[in-house]
Every structure is written in structure tokens, then in C-alpha cells.
A = this chain, B = another copy of it.
Amino acid sequence: MALSPTPTVFPFVSRGERGFLERGMDPVLTWLDTFGLIVFAVSGGLVAARKGMDIVGFALMATVTGIGGGTFRDMVLGMTPVFWVREPHYLVVCLAVGILTWFVAHRLDSRQRALLWADAIGIAFFTVVGTQVGLRAEAGISVALLMGVMTACFGGIVRDLLAGEPSLILQREIYITACVAGACAYLLFDAMGAGEGVSGVVSFCVTFLVRGAALAFGLSLPGYRDKIDRSQGGTGKG
């Protein structure tokens, strides 16, 4: 199935020619990879449900959300064909999840809260993956940072664009910000000489905790207008 000696995309998940089911060596990572993919695809399907799309729309929205981030990363870094062309099970999972969501979306309505927490696991894992792929491209920490954030968030951004909904970038809930924090944590620990494993675990925890805190306490960053209003008020800050 491998098309060419391009770099592996999920480097610590898939090595060499092993397929989806034979990756027994790193069961936790494989599980997280698949879990994150499924959660992202479900979130795409749920937006399709909200917009009243047909079943083909569900499949496409699930696919865009599930693999959009890694696709952008691979195209920018020149790692083409992109990862899901080299390992099509990613695409198969997204299409299947999208179709499945068509049948069960109404049962997921009452589980919105659980899905948000599952999504937090997804962005935490894909931030680690993206940052690591960026670092391995030896392109500097700013590129690795952006790769981490975009791998986690780009699919959701395109999902919202296609659905005609306000983009993630427009919302001030701490979502992209959590990925920024997690990617920074990875780069910090990497710079201090920690290995990929330690940096990855720390990064995962930081992203998840920051996003989780936002979910638990309804935190958001101040928007530009809040900042202006506050600085024009009596607090003396400016």
C-alpha cells in the first residue's frame, strides 16, 4: 500500500509496512489515534445533522473534520501523497463514522457534553502528533508549533466553513488556545532535552487540562472588544 518512501505521518504510531491491525506494539498510541479520528469524524457528522444535510453530506463532513488537519500539514511540508492516501484506513474510518452518525445522531444529542470531553482528548493527541511531525521536518520551532495547532484544529475550521457556521477562530472559547499551550509545552520539554515520549505526555496533558478547564469552568480568552472596553473603563489598565 505504501506509495513511495515518504516519511511516515504518525511516526510513533505507524512504522514500516505494518497495517492498521498489526500495530500491536503501541496499543495506547494506536488507540488514541483511532479514538481521536473517530471523535473528530463524529463532530463533523453532528454539524451535518445540525444543518440538515443528507447522508453523503454526513460522510463528507466527517471526512473533512477527521483528516483535514493532517492533510494540510502534509501538503505544507511536502509529505505527499498525504497520509490517508498512504494509509487509507484513515479515510475508511471517517466515511464509515460519518454514515453511522447519520443513523445515530439523535442519540448523541444527550451526550454533547461527553463528546466535548472526547474531543479534548482528540485535540490533545493530534497536537502532540503534529508538533512531533513538524519537529522531525527540522524546520524550526515556529513551524512545529503551527503544525501542532493546525493538525488538531484545521479540520474543525474547514468543517465550520463548509457548514456556513462561524469559524473556530471567531469563537473565543479556549480551543485553539489549548493546542497552542500544548504545542508550546512539547517544544519547551524538547528544548530541555526530554525525549519524544516525555514531551508528548506532557504536551498531551497540558492541552487536555487547558481545554478541560475551559469546558469545566466555561473559560474564554478576552476578545478584542472586551479588552478595549476594559481599558476605557476605570480600572486604569490599558
Contacts and interface: CB of A to CB of B under 8 A. Distances in A.
A169 B71 CA distance: 20
Given A76-B85, A142-B88, A56 B223 contact: no
B85 A143 contact: yes
A56 B228 contact: no
Contacts of A51: 170, 224
A170 B81 contact: no
A77 B88 contact: no
Contacts of A6: 78
Contacts of A49: 224
How many A residues are at the interface, by size bracket? 35 or more
Contact of A85 (B63, B77, B220): B77
B81 A137 contact: yes
Interface in A141-193: 142-143, 146, 157, 161-164, 166-167, 169-170, 172, 176-177, 180
Contacts of A58: 224
B162 A162 contact: no
Contact of A81 (B56, B60, B77): B77
A157 B158 CA distance: 12
Contacts of A76: 71, 75, 80-82, 85
A221 interface: yes
Contacts of A105: 224
Given A53-B223, A91-B143, A161-B162, 11 more contacts: A1-B140, A52-B224, A57-B170, A76-B81, A78-B82, A81-B137, A85-B137, A88-B142, A91-B146, A106-B228, A162-B170
Interface of A: 1, 3-4, 6, 48-49, 51-58, 60-61, 63, 71, 75-78, 80-82, 84-86, 88, 91-92, 95, 102, 105-106, 137-140, 142-143, 146, 157, 161-164, 166-167, 169-170, 172, 176-177, 180, 220-228, 231
The 9 closest A-B pairs by CB, nearest first: A78-B80, A54-B221, A88-B140, A52-B223, A52-B225, A78-B81, A85-B139, A49-B224, A54-B172
